[in-house]
Amino acid sequence: MSPTEPSKAATSALLGALRSMAVRWGLGVGLVALWQVLAMRAGSIFFPPPTEIAKRAVELWLSGPPSRLFLSDGVFQDILPSLLRLLAGWSLAVACGIALGTAIGRSRRISELLDPSLQFLRAIPGPALVPVFILLLGTESTMRIALIAFGSIWPVLLNTIEGTRTVDPVQLDTAASFRLPRGALLWRIVLPAAMPKIFAGMRISLALAVILMVVSELVASTNGIGYRIQNAQIMFLLTDMWCGIVLLAVIGYTLNRLFLTIEDRALNWHRGARGRSAA
């Protein structure tokens, strides 16, 4: 390659990357800019301009000492506890959901027997159970983690049941013909085969867990992101409220992306196999 060619290739690669970034973020940035312009012109207190929101967010959360990465107290008082409760509740839901779901899914009779009851339990709106949980478990973190876990277990549980129930019969026959022992059947055939559905269930559970985390903090709580949003509403601090909403959007989006990356890796084979059969 002559000296000019590598730099030409680099330039066009750079342009390509910029173009795809523009496409990706263009609409979003455009909408935010529109909001900014409209807010500065019409000035409704309910929709403060994005610049105000950003400024307040920095004040609230990024004005701490350098030793703590500039994070302010608010982060440690509200954001961190919320996130920890979220993760604790969700992990509990995932662990129990996969374990129970596998046990139920192995037996067609049991899964058919339990199906209507599980559908019923899953349909109970999480918020409707808040009073129950408060009365049973008080108003501390235990109640919140329990609510998050109880509410978000259903997608994982039901998808795991579905996934372990619908293993390809040819794969089951193959395992039987090679006399694979029970443990091998479970760990090397049933669970890997059910992985795509289990992951899908986990992802929905995650979104549900975020919702329940907020719900659990809107009632009788003293800290947390939800609490702060509600507090801001009561005190009519609209910019603060919007900071909370944007923060939730960022958290939800980031968690989802993180999960997708992990799922991508783990389910590499599934995409390959599916692409093959579609071809």
Partner 1 sequence: MSDTLEFAAPSLPSPASGGGKGGGSAAWGRTASALRVALGVVAFFLILELITSLGLVPAIYLPRASTVVERMAELMVDPKFLKQILATLEAWAVGLALATLISVPIGILIGTSEPAYKMSSPVIEFMRPIPSVALIPLAILLWGQGFSMKVILVAYAAAWPILFNTVYGVHDVDPIAVETARCFGLKRRSMLWRICLPSAAPLIFTGIRISASIGLIVVIGSELLASTDSGIGSYILFVSLNGGHMDSVLAGAAIAGIVGVLINWLLGLIDRRLFAWRYLGATAR
Partner 2 sequence: MLSVAELAYSYSSEKPVLANVTFAVVAGEIVSIVGPSGCGKTTLLKILAGLLRPIKGDVRFQGEIVRGVPAGLAMVFQEYSRSLLPWTTVTGNVELPLRYKKLDRPARARLVSDSLEAVGLSGFGQYYPWQLSGGMQQRVAIARALAYQPKLLLMDEPFASVDAQTRADLEDLVAAVRDRFGITIVFITHDIDEAVYLSDRVVVLSTSPTTVIDVITTELPRPRDQIATKALPTFVEKRSAIARLIRRRNADSLQHPAPRE
DSSP 222: S
Q: Of 25 and 187, which CB lies nearer to partner 1 in the complex structure?
A: 25
Q: Of 64 and 75, which CB lies nearer to partner 1 in the complex structure?
A: 75
Instruction: Give the residue from 232, 279, 228 showing the smallest Cα distance to 72.
Output: 228
Q: Are 135 and 113 in contact (CB under 8 A)?
A: no
Residues 101-130 close enough to bind partner 1 by CB under 8 A: 108, 111-117, 119-121, 123-130
Binding partner of 200, given partner 1, partner 2, none, CB within 5-8 angstroms per partner class: partner 1
- Amino acid present at 102: T
71: left (phi over 0), alpha (psi -120 to 50) or beta: beta
Binding partner of 170, given partner 1, partner 2, none, CB within 5-8 angstroms per partner class: partner 2
**The pair of three-digit structure tokens given for residue 232, joined into one six-digit string:** 């801001």
- Amino acid present at 19: R
Nearest approach, Cβ of residue 39 and partner 1 (Å): 15
**φ, ψ at 208 (rounded to 5°):** -65, -40
Q: Indicate which single residue of 41, 45, 181, 234 sits in contact with partner 2 (rule: CB under 8 A).
A: 181
| Interaction of residue 168 with partner 2, rule CB under 8 A | yes
Q: Indicate which single residue of 68, 122, 188, 257 sits in contact with partner 2 (rule: CB under 8 A).
A: 188
Dihedral sign of CA atoms 212, 215, 221, 225 in order: positive
Q: Indicate which single residue of 171, 223, 233, 256 sits in contact with partner 2 (rule: CB under 8 A).
A: 171
Distance CA 205, CA 149 (A): 9
Instruction: Give the residue from 69, 41, 82 showing the smallest Cα distance to 229.
Output: 82
- CA 239 → CA 49, 245, 263, distances in Å? 9, 10, 36
Q: Indicate which single residue of 82, 102, 141, 159 sits in contact with partner 1 (rule: CB under 8 A).
A: 159
Segment interacting with partner 2, rule: CB under 8 A, options 155-163, 175-183, 204-212, 245-253: 175-183
Question: Hunting for tokens 């509600």 — which residue is that?
Answer: 230
**Residues of the shown chain interacting with partner 1 in the complex, contacts defined by CB under 8 A:** 23-28, 31, 46, 108, 111-117, 119-121, 123-132, 134-136, 155, 158-159, 161-162, 165-166, 169, 197, 200-201, 203-204, 207, 210-211, 214-215, 218-219, 226, 229-230, 232-233, 236, 238, 241-242, 244-245, 248-249, 252-253, 255-256
Binding positions for partner 2, rule: CB under 8 A: 168, 170-171, 173-174, 176-181, 184, 188-189, 192, 195, 269-270, 272-273, 275-277
